[in-house]
Amino acid sequence: GAGVSQSPSNKVTEKGKDVELRCDPISGHTALYWYRQSLGQGLEFLIYFQGNSAPDKSGLPSDRFSAERTGGSVSTLTIQRTQQEDSAVYLCASDSGGGGELFFGEGSRLTVL
Amino acid sequence: DAKTTQPNSMESNEEEPVHLPCNHSTISGTDYIHWYRQLPSQGPEYVIHGLTSNVNNRMASLAIAEDRKSSTLILHRATLRDAAVYYCIPPDSNSGYALNFGKGTSLLVTP
């Protein structure tokens, strides 16, 4: 596609439920990032994928959070047993590798009731 | 990880120049300085980046101090569409890519 695509754009869930957020990066981009942005805050790094290398998971806040990237393209961020503090906008970005310009999606807004 | 300091907010009149400062005193000698902006309800978008020399593109100019401890993003003529949060991001010196974005500078443009 022309840009980074994320779905769903909005997700409302109940505390304790699992959620999956999807990111489709720009075609050919080898690097993919997930960030979290809580209300009124900056972006918090979660995880980074680069090609076939092991992902950098150093930003994941707990073991309830996990992400995978299948076939070097689409990525899914999974949050298990959601908590109210997980409510935030989850942003995905991709680049062509080498730490260049990041292209962001519109984000997935998660609300945990 | 290089630390950055930006003012929380700035205000400008439409069609006036805007100078957005950023201090990054711990930046390493080989790290590029990237600027992004985030319009309301959107993901961040790239604005400009540079290493040592001043840089210009269609969106803005970037003036980098000679000692590289600070930089200034310059919008030559602010428009209402430039109202956004502006982030100054040096990459993490270990990983080479952007980690956490701070709160940035919220720019208000008034007609």
Predicted confidence (pLDDT) per residue in B73-106, tens digit: 999 999 999 999 999 987 776 666 766 788 899 9
Instruction: Report CA A59 to chain centroid distance, whole Å.
Output: 11
Predicted confidence (pLDDT) per residue in B22-69, tens digit: 998 877 777 888 999 999 989 999 999 998 889 999 999 999 999 888
Q: Which candidate, B17, B30, B28, B111, places its Cα nearest to that of B72?
A: B17
Q: Contacts of residue A91 in chain B, CB cutoff 8 Å?
A: 43-44
**How many angstroms away from the CA of A44 is the closest CA of chain B?**
5
Are the beta carbons of A42 and B87 separated by less than 8 Å?
yes
Q: Which 71-110 residues of chain A touch chain B by CB within 8 A?
A: 91, 93, 99, 101-107
Residue A110 three-state SS? strand
Query: What number of other Cβ atoms are within 10 A of residue A30's Cβ?
Result: 17
